[in-house]
Structure 1
Amino acid sequence: MADARFEDGQERPLRLIARDSEDLKVVSALVQDAVLSAQDLSYSARQRRFSLLLNRFRWEDRAAAQSAGRAFERVRAVLDFADVTRVAHQGLDRRDPDTVLSLLAVEFSATDGSDSASPGRVLLTFAGDGAIALDVGCLDAMLADVTRPYAAPSRRAPEHGPD
């Protein structure tokens, strides 16, 4: 059996599960530069779930769009975390509905330093020094596209300057 490739997801909606930090690195790469508003964040303490409704840039389709000369695409997606016991944030104003958040990275660190299904912290890092920390009983994340792709309003792929 061969490993999955970006090209495998070109025409189908993504639905991925992350159960360790290596899985989450893949999810993080796919949600990099996703945009959302503060209203697109949801936490249910009773259900122990934290969800984000994202406008995700389709990194898996970038090369194909570029070579075909067609518009780059975005898609609405849900990034959901289960077994969330605590949520903390800094640098984000959840009361301002006009604030646009740009997700840069998603990382997991286990409390005991392992990479197993142990308690730990998920860190969501946003442009402009904003961050959300999720304390979790174990890493249980899912990324699922929920709409058809649409042309990216900017018509460009996100760019990152030198570090």
Structure 2
Amino acid sequence: MSDARFEDGEDQPLRLIAQEGEGLTVLSALLQDAIFPITEMAYAKARRRFALLLNRFRWEDRAAAEAAARRYERVQSLLVFEDVLAVKSTGIDRKDRDTVLSLMSISFAETSEGAGEVTLVLAGDGAIVLTVEALDASLRDTTRPYLAPSGKVPTHQE
């Protein structure tokens, strides 16, 4: 069994931007259940940039995978926020370098004209809050899709 390839389908790597709340909602849906080691997030204060390298479930490919009776896929993606003034986290131990986090959702709350807070909600009651001068987010797939190790669609307990 080999990994999935972009050539196997019509899909192309995602390259999306969000500069308003609606766009961030799209990114949030695509990134639900993305996983990343705590070591793969970085805040470059001087550049005002926060970035995450994560492994996202390919929700956009789910129906095609089911129709073709093939395994589900993940892909490594880079999520970047520009114009970040501050970063806070709650519910996670940033010193535990072995922690793997799971992203549940991303939201934006405007505080003044264009400025606001981006909240990345993590499984297990954790969160990362970015204070931004303006909403400027981008998502870019950086690798080819690979077969999801679990072979299953992520589920959540209510």
TM-score normalised by length of structure 1: 0.89
**RMSD of aligned C-alpha atoms?**
1.3
Residues 137 and 90 from structure 1, CA distance in 2 versus in 1: closer, same or farther, beyond 3 angstroms?
A: same
2:41 alignment counterpart: 41
Post-superposition Cα deviations, 1:97-139, rounded to whole Å, max 9, x if no partner, equal 2211000000001103xxxx61100000000010000000000
Does the 8 Å contact 1:10/1:60 carry over to 2? no
What's the CA shift string for 1:135-158, capped at 9, x where partnerless? 000000000000000000000010
Task: Give the length in aligned residue pairs.
Answer: 150
Runs of 4+ that moved beyond 6 A? none
Percent pairwise identity: 54
TM-score by length of 2: 0.92
Q: What SS does the corresponding residue of 1:29 show, helix, strand or coil?
A: helix
Tell me the residue number matched to 2:146.
150
Partner of 1:89: 89
Q: How does 1:89-108 map to 2 (within 5 A)?
A: 89-108=89-108
> What residue is the counterpart of 2:30 in the other structure?
30
Using a 3 Å threshold, how does the CA distance of structure 1 residues 56 and 10 change in structure 2: closer, same or farther? farther
What's the offset of the Cα at 1:160? 2.5
